[in-house]
């Protein structure tokens, strides 16, 4: 696992328990992969002149705990013990601000294009490891960004195969 520290995090609220994993999908520019733009975005180094879309988002301060690239490589941006800024306005089981109690995992991809075999494999290993570290993460405590921010977010989208992912967890 590569580590690329993001400045976009803060401390979790006192006594908060990590009990949710949120799966996201991201590509920068939209629909394109590689190039290191996601890493630059999460580290506040995105060049707003490199692509017209970047001018719209380069001012944003966001992060995730991890990114799983198309080849399955995992990049960690924020310690799991800290609060990454990935969920935004969100609600899960009547609790608001999911950043307080969740781990955010980004998959390099889009809502419409199938995710890669290597990504499912890495995601399965990472989630199993997190579940062994954080006892409050139940199988039903793994969701998509769309589940905690319906109407505002669509990722990881219909291209993410939830059954394949869940089958991978039991193996």
The string of pLDDT tens digits covering residues 12-36 is 999 999 999 999 999 999 999 999 9
Residues β-bridged to residue 22: 104, 143
> What is the number of domains present in the chain?
1
Q: What angle do CA 87, 92, 95 make, to 5 degrees?
A: 100
The question of whether 106 is a catalytic residue gets the answer yes
- Write the CA distances from 67 to 15, 16, 127, 135, integer angstroms: 26, 23, 13, 22
The string of DSSP codes covering 6-35 is -S-EEEPPTT----EEEEEEE-SSTT---T
Q: What is the pTM of this model?
A: 0.97
Task: Tell me which of 69, 106, 108, 112 is the catalytic residue.
Answer: 106
116 DSSP 8-state letter: P
Domain that holds residue 45: 2-170
**24-33, 124-133, 162-171: segment of lowest average pLDDT:** 162-171
């Amino acid at each position: 696992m590569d580590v690329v520290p993001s400045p976009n995090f803060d401390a979790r609220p006192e006594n908060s328990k990590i009990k949710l994993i949120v799966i996201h999908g991201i590509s920068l520019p939209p629909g394109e992969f590689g190039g290191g733009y996601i890493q630059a975005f999460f580290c506040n180094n995105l060049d707003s002149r490199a692509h017209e879309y970047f001018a719209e988002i380069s001012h944003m301060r966001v992060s995730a705990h991890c990114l799983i690239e198309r080849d399955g490589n995992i990049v960690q941006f924020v310690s799991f013990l800290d609060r990454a800024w990935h969920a935004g306005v969100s609600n899960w089981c009547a609790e608001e601000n999911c950043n307080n109690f969740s781990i955010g995992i980004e998959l390099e991809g889009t809502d419409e294009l199938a995710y890669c075999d290597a990504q499912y494999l890495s995601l399965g290993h990472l989630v199993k490891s997190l579940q062994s570290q954080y006892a409050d993460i139940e199988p039903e405590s793994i969701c998509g960004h769309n589940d905690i921010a319906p109407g505002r977010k669509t990722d990881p989208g219909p291209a993410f195969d939830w059954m394949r992912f869940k089958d991978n967890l039991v193996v």
